[in-house]
Amino acid sequence: MQIKYLKSMFFLGAASILLVTSCKKKIEEAYLNPNAPVTVPIESILPGVIGGFTAFNSAAGTNFGVQIDAILLGRYIQYWGSTTNGENYGGMGGTIGSDNTGGVWGTVYFGQGQNVNRIIEWGTAEEKWDYVGVAYAIRAWGWLELTNQYGDAILKEAFNTNLSQFHYDTQPEFYDSCRAICHKAISYLNRTDGNLSPAKLAESDFYFNKGDLGKWKKFVYGTLARSYINLSNKTNFVSSGLADSAIKYANLAMTTNADNALATFSATNTSNGFNSYFGPTRSNIGTIRQASYIANLMSGTNAEAFAGVTEFRMWYMLSENANNTFKGVTPWLGVTEFVSGPTILPDYPKNFWRNPTLEATTGTDNLARYVYGNKGPWPMMTASEMQFVIAEAAHRKGDKATALTAYTNAINLNFDMLTTTYSFNIPAGREITPASKANYITSTAIVPASSAALTLTHIMLQKYIALYGWGVQQTWTDMRKFHYTAIDPQTTKQVYAGFTPPPTSPINYLVSTNNGKWVYRCRPRYNSEYLYNIPELTRLGALNTDYNTYECWFSMP
């Protein structure tokens, strides 16, 4: 009957156009699309969603995730720079007409997007509350990451499939939604009824929390802690209880390195999806080199912070040069400081896979260290970071004793994470030992002898070091809170001591379209927004050449 009905439609032509909708429904009922079944097991959706934290490489989307954007954003905060002199992002630039820095946008809306919705919808119908809780945890994380990177974005209409253009919502709305979803996630993760399946969740979640609901709850609490500490520049941060909330949720989050949220990779073959985006097999970071700012902080050559104190963490996190010392590039100058004619100078840093060639793009896994190996692991959130959250919030409250304890704990935890998780490929004699760790911690240049001497500079610079490599987005959020060069009232010097954004005089090293201003946000993803959502982009000013310099709400007083 349906086939005859379909044939009659072709003969009736224009006169029957009003029947198309009912015909379409009958066709879809009779011939289900084998490539898009009505439902699929949510156990098969979750692994790809978790993969979206770092770098999607699947049918759900390619080159979405924090790792993709980190390669470019890391130049703003001078974690590293390109070997190319004058390249765009070394000059704090952004572009229209490119999906560069659109990786987080892509993962939240496309890679995770409807997949998270389906886990929630189908998981609720099947009473798989553990999966529902995990999905809400991922959604909350995504809203916070998204709005911190892009400012205003699509919230209320995000997944309305009846629309082709979407209204943008404000950062306060994203923060409120993130927190509400966090609490919803906790409520589901706490449930013990229904059809929970620890074994199945552990399999779906094998490369992240391995189905450990306790770790997922800590991840949610960590997201809440970030949502409060990100507002520490607000004039009411202490009086309104934001500082207390940051401390409360950081204490409920990761407290030991066993709690750390680590994205891992099997590296069982050469396919991209099996290896870290930062690993040598995928060969995405071969032409970036550590920046001089991080190298100087860790080698004791920053004249304004930690001067004269060298540390063994460098051998885990950074790359040495031919002289077995640690130098770095200036992001807007590329490698010009390390070349004399055709000669590469001995201070030139190797790439992160220990390749010393000037513009090397390759390396081998047996020389890769830290987060730069094929297997990672790639931290998404750590106990050390949470202690730094407590330290900053307590310091702003005037509770210096609590701040000093948390600050010291944070440094210890970072050292211990390196020795337990990243002890591979460290040269003999360069390993962190209890003695070398103690020497560093007991230096009063690092940990003041009294809590009264602890400064925001101590806290933020040690956090900057501890998050090096993996925590690019959070560090950029921190630096924007301090407007890059804000003054520490205790030291009367910059909080980020010695940090110099690209100068504008006597040579302007900022990208010209910034109009002399520093970057504060990324543009929405080009291929979705700049092709289709022009009315909203016009309203926001996102078509202006300097839109990337518009300050975000979270960093405003």
Angstrom distance (rounded) from CA 8 to CA 2: 10
Q: What pLDDT score does 57 carry?
A: 72
Extract the runs of DSSP E, i.e. beta strands, from 307-384.
Answer: 339-340, 343-344, 378-381
Quote the pTM value. 0.93
Q: What is the average per-residue pLDDT within 116-143?
A: 98
Q: What pLDDT score does 62 carry?
A: 73
Is the per-residue pLDDT at 372 higher than 50? yes
Is 42:55 a contact under the CB 8 Å cutoff?
no
Residue count of the chain, please give it.
557
Angstrom distance (rounded) from CA 151 to CA 168: 10
In tens, the pLDDT along 391-431 reads 999 999 999 999 999 999 999 999 999 999 999 999 999 99
What is the chain's Cα-based Rg? 25
Buried b (16+ CB within 10 A) or exposed e, 429-452: eeebeeebbeebeeeeebbbeebe
Is 188:196 a contact under the CB 8 Å cutoff?
no
Mean confidence (pLDDT) of the chain: 92
Q: Which residues contact 488 (CB under 8 A, 6 or more apart)?
A: 455, 456, 457, 494, 495
Is the per-residue pLDDT at 160 higher than 80? yes
Q: What pLDDT score does 4 carry?
A: 30
> Within 358-455, where are the H helices?
383-397, 400-421, 434-441
Backbone angles phi, psi at 456, to 5 degrees: -60, -30
Is the per-residue pLDDT at 188 higher than 70? yes
Is the per-residue pLDDT at 359 higher than 80? no
Please report, rounded to a whole number, the percentage of residues in the chain having pLDDT higher than 90. 87
Is the per-residue pLDDT at 34 higher than 60? no
Q: What is the average per-residue pLDDT within 206-218?
A: 98
Is the per-residue pLDDT at 12 higher than 70? no
Please report, rounded to a whole number, the percentage of residues in the chain having pLDDT higher than 70. 93
If pLDDT is split at 50, 70 and 90, which confidence band does 16 have?
very low
In tens, the pLDDT along 85-109 reads 999 999 999 888 899 999 999 999 9
